[in-house]
Structure 1
Amino acid sequence: MFEGFEPFTVTTDRDLDVSIYGLKSGDTSSSSLPPLLLIHGFPQSRHIWHRVAPQLTDQYTVVMIDLRGYGDSSKPESVAAYAKSAMARDCIEVMDSLGFDSFFVCAHDRGARVSHKLCVDYPQRVKRAILLDICPTLAMYTTTDFEFAKAYFHWFFLIQKAPLPESLILANTRTFAELFMGGRQAGGLKIFDQECWEFYVKVLEDPAAVHSMCQDYRASSTLDLDEARTDLAEGRLVQCPLLVLWGKHGVIERCFDAVKEWRSVTKKGVSVTGHSIDSGHYIAEEAPQDIVSSIREFLV
């Protein structure tokens, strides 16, 4: 699936293992290419990039990670472990371990929330970023209306006290995955590669993974909101150019002015552009060529 890539792990200073797929270290043709970090969302893994990453290796040194709590990465227990500031530090440690002082980012869903914090906390490291199908977490929670709550019910379900959401998901994992992920686009499950889909389901069958994903959302409804308010109060904003892409058939299109929301958390004068793509939520798998084209044109 990821021909030319090899799996490896980085153990962070908090003794957490972050699972990575990257270009083979012996591939000298890629050693001088600019690094590109790809970060997935919920409830997925690095596999979302299987139609994107192989097309980019002529122009970038591509690095894909599994966020903590997801895929093959460690699954710590506490809510604090899933603050986006902590997850952003993982990204920095991964790129440090590979010798990359600065890099590009393209990230989807939860990964894009991590990338937002990455841009704010480490402005000297991220050169440009593409964020897929999100608005800032603070904006999305504080402007919630009926339409948003109906479409993103999982934002309110997963944050309930443990083990309520964990128990309900684990009671019939495959059905939950089929109805939740398949129900987010007209094409249903057909947009997913079967091998990738089976990996997503396998991970969701792990109680530690399900608990971690719930903790990720619990952190977003508490710690991440506090951090976002503090960042804005202290004038800590995104300082790199942003390209925001969202699914034409999703909640961002219906409920938010994405470019306006991202400009509100970005330093004045820094470029923020964006547009919708003919896709549902899982853009990298449903419309990979749009992502490839956007990466090649914007991340230069």
Structure 2
Amino acid sequence: MDAFESFTITTQTEPRVDIFGLKSGDASSSQKPPLLLLHGFPQTHHIWHRVAPQLTEAYTVILIDLRGYGQSSKPDGVASYAKSAMARDCAAVMTQLGYHDDETPFFVCAHDRGARVAHKLCVDYHTRVRAAILLDICPTLAMYEATSFEFARAYFHWFLLIQPAPLPETMLLANPRKVAEAFMGGRPGGAGLRIFAPECWERYVAGLGDEATVHAMCDDYRAAATVDLDEARADIKEGRLIKCPLKVLWGQHGVIEKCFDAVKEWKQVSSKDVAVEGHSVDSGHYIPEQVPDVVVSEIKQFFAV
């Protein structure tokens, strides 16, 4: 992505973490609305390599590696991967890039784990998020509470990766490439490994072979099954809901289509006066890499300015 410049931003809250990212820029960037893109597991900002370059004429595009992933810091402890902490990273990045109050709100499009971070970002920083698109998820609490055999079979990793260290870490690190090939290439409707660009694929495999990254990934899932559920219940009880326009897209060949009513679930965690819409797309789980043109079209339509 030649039109992007890299940055590393250190958050100001303890423990401080370094967040690596890319930002598009030209002479007219200050007039373009900011758009934050967040990746999922076990990936990095590279998932957007077919999407982001198509958006730079209309938006100032920011991509980051979530804490625990890619070139960003990998702090210790399950609590470090609460989605509230990861959302705070996103807010800090946008602040330091100049989008620091409700006078300069930004758009968010996020996939998988990144979309869970985006959910908390919409709740905790609701005046700063202009609108959001979430890809191939339902709320974490709703998914865990509705666990069925079909869901558990398809999302077995949700239950494997939350096991105490070092069990899941040992299993992933034993043969990272085979794990990536079997897990990412074997998901329903995903068209196998051919949807991944070779250079991006190698980044994902490298992450699964790095001990610190794998431990952070597992802690991300451990947080999802503990502190994130507690925070989600508290948010619902205390009326802290999504307050920005929301669109959800999911792969019609995946578990969201089979097991959940996605729009209904997202309406449950959004304010009554907020527009929530969504539909399936002809894809498996890895929507930004399998159908990037669809993602670009949806962003331009929903985030029209």
TM-score (norm 1): 0.98
Q: How does 1:157-196 map to 2 (within 5 A)?
A: 157-184=160-187, 185-196=189-200
Tell me the distance in 2 between the aligned counterparts of 1:79 and 1:102.
30
Aligned residues: 297
Is the aligned partner of 1:31 residue 2:30?
yes
After superposition, the C-alpha distances for 1:243-280 in whole angstroms (9 at most, x for unaligned) are 00000100000000000000000000210000000000
| CA RMSD between the two structures | 0.7
After superposition, the C-alpha distances for 1:10-62 in whole angstroms (9 at most, x for unaligned) are 001132100111114xx212221000000000000000000000000010000
Tell me the distance in 2 between the aligned counterparts of 1:109 and 1:275.
16
Tell me the distance in 1 between the aligned counterparts of 2:131 and 2:65.
21
- Which range moves more in the overlay, 183-192 or 117-126? 183-192
Tell me the distance in 1 between the aligned counterparts of 2:87 and 2:273.
24
Q: Which amino acid aligns with 1:207?
A: E
Q: State whether residues 133 and 248 of structure 2, in contact with CA within 8 Å, keep that contact through their aligned partners in structure 1.
A: yes
Aligned partner of 1:109 among 107, 112, 116: 112
Tell me the distance in 1 between the aligned counterparts of 2:46 and 2:169.
23
Aligned partner of 1:297 among 282, 292, 301: 301
C-alpha deviation, 1:198, in angstroms: 0.3
Q: Which residue of 1 aligns with 2:264?
A: 260
Q: Which amino acid aligns with 1:89?
A: R
Tell me the distance in 1 between the aligned counterparts of 2:181 and 2:5.
30
Q: Which residue of 1 aligns with 2:140?
A: 137
Gapped regions of structure 2 (runs ≥ 5): none
Tell me the distance in 1 between the aligned counterparts of 2:184 and 2:76.
25
C-alpha deviation, 1:66, in angstroms: 0.3
C-alpha deviation, 1:187, in angstroms: 1.3
SS at match of 1:3: coil
Aligned partner of 2:207 among 197, 203, 213: 203
Q: Which residue of 2 aligns with 1:274?
A: 278
SS at match of 1:31: helix
Q: How does 1:1-300 map to 2 (within 5 A)?
A: 2-13=1-12, 14=14, 15-24=16-25, 27-100=26-99, 101-184=104-187, 185-300=189-304
Tell me the distance in 2 between the aligned counterparts of 1:66 and 1:114.
12
SS at match of 2:93: helix
C-alpha deviation, 1:6, in angstroms: 1.2
Q: State whether residues 190 and 286 of structure 2, in contact with CA within 8 Å, keep that contact through their aligned partners in structure 1.
A: no
C-alpha deviation, 1:7, in angstroms: 1.1
Q: State whether residues 190 and 290 of structure 2, in contact with CA within 8 Å, keep that contact through their aligned partners in structure 1.
A: no
Tell me the distance in 2 between the aligned counterparts of 1:204 and 1:147.
26
SS at match of 1:28: coil
Tell me the distance in 1 between the aligned counterparts of 2:281 and 2:196.
18
Tell me the distance in 1 between the aligned counterparts of 2:24 and 2:132.
20
After superposition, the C-alpha distances for 1:69-125 in whole angstroms (9 at most, x for unaligned) are 001100011000000000000000000001113100000000000000000001100
Displacement over 6 Å in runs of 4+: none
SS at match of 2:19: strand
Q: Which amino acid aligns with 2:172?
A: I
Q: Which amino acid aligns with 1:287?
A: V
SS at match of 2:131: strand
Q: Percent identity?
A: 67
SS at match of 1:99: coil
C-alpha deviation, 1:8, in angstroms: 1.1
After superposition, the C-alpha distances for 1:173-208 in whole angstroms (9 at most, x for unaligned) are 100011000011341100000000001111111100
